[in-house]
Amino acid sequence: MTAASHLNDLALPPLAAIRARIARAAALAGRKAADVTLVAISKTRPAEAIMPLIGEGQRVFGENRVQEAQAKWPALIEAHPDIRLHLVGQLQSNKAEDAVRLFDAIHSLDRPSLLHALARAMDKAGRRVPLFVQVNIGAEDQKGGCAIADVPGLLSEARAADLPVEGLMCVPPAGIEAAPFFALLGKIAADNGLSGLSMGMSEDFETAVMLGATHVRIGSALFGARAG
Ligand SMILES: *Cc1c(COP(=O)(O)O)cnc(C)c1O
């Protein structure tokens, strides 16, 4: 379902069209568009594809691999120091230091070993990077994320380690209606006193915004289909 598919027909550049659709979905839900952060997912895109979006004013970007981000972003950030980079992909503990140095938010905290690696990395770097706990919201075998039952325990470990957990993140099962999974993530967040909700991608971000998303992660609707 899209709340405002007719806006697709407007002759707007993709970024403006996405912003308009976010604003419309937020308004339907009695929310402010300013309370929804658009994270432009630039994985696999070269700098030449990213620069036009920066030119149009987009400042929050997301990548899913630390090494790819390290190759691409330092030069862009030097030219535009107000850019904020989010990590949305699985993170290996041995990359925690690199991730804490480069990223301004990490959406993929999913296990105690990574939590402790991030705590050490943040202590060493002298900076606290906001975190989202990724939840395996559809209890899928192959999917990353912490089991729903393990969320409270992971959150209390994070609090004990003085880690700034801003909210929860999910990628719902493919091919079925996402709304129940977004609603469930919202309930788990509320039950645990968290306000951040990183949910919604190109195909379902309006639904996510209506159900309380504070961060939508949008790639292909902004940049076009990814090759492979
Ligand atoms: C690639 C990716 C996205 C963006 O997906 P699109 O369908 O291209 O919008 C969002 N979240 C995560 C975790 C991703 O890996």
79: tokens are: 């030219």
For residue 7, what pLDDT is reported?
54
Kindly give the number of the ligand 1 atom that is closest to the alpha carbon of 39: 10
Q: What share of the chain has pLDDT > 90, as a percent?
A: 92
Neighbours of 85 (CB within 10 A): 22
CB of 218 sitting under 6 A from ligand 1: yes
Indicate which residue's Cα is closest to atom 4 of ligand 1.
219
Distance from residue 124's CA to the centre of ligand 1 (Å): 30
Kindly give the number of the ligand 1 atom that is closest to the alpha carbon of 202: 9
> Which residues does 27 contact at the CB level (< 8 Å), separation at least 6?
33
CB of 219 sitting under 6 A from ligand 1: yes
Question: The dihedral of CA 170, 113, 85, 71: what is its sign?
Answer: negative
Give pTM, 2 decimals.
0.95
- pLDDT of residue 166 exceeding 70, the answer is yes
141: tokens are: 């075998």
Neighbours of 18 (CB within 10 A): 22
Instruction: Look up the CATH number of domain 35-223.
Output: 3.20.20.10
CB of 64 sitting under 6 A from ligand 1: yes
Environment class of 198 (CB within 10 Å of its CB; exposed 0-12, middle 13-18, buried 19+)? buried
Find the distance separating the first CA and the last CA of the chain, reported in whole Å.
Answer: 26
pLDDT single digits (tens) 31-61: 999 999 999 999 999 999 999 999 999 999 9
CB of 178 sitting under 6 A from ligand 1: no
pLDDT single digits (tens) 74-127: 999 999 999 999 999 999 999 999 999 999 999 999 999 999 999 999 999 999
- SS percent in the chain: helix, strand, coil, step 5: 45, 15, 40
CB of 65 sitting under 6 A from ligand 1: no
pLDDT single digits (tens) 200-214: 999 999 999 999 999
> Which residues does 196 contact at the CB level (< 8 Å), separation at least 6?
130, 132, 166, 167, 168, 189, 214, 215
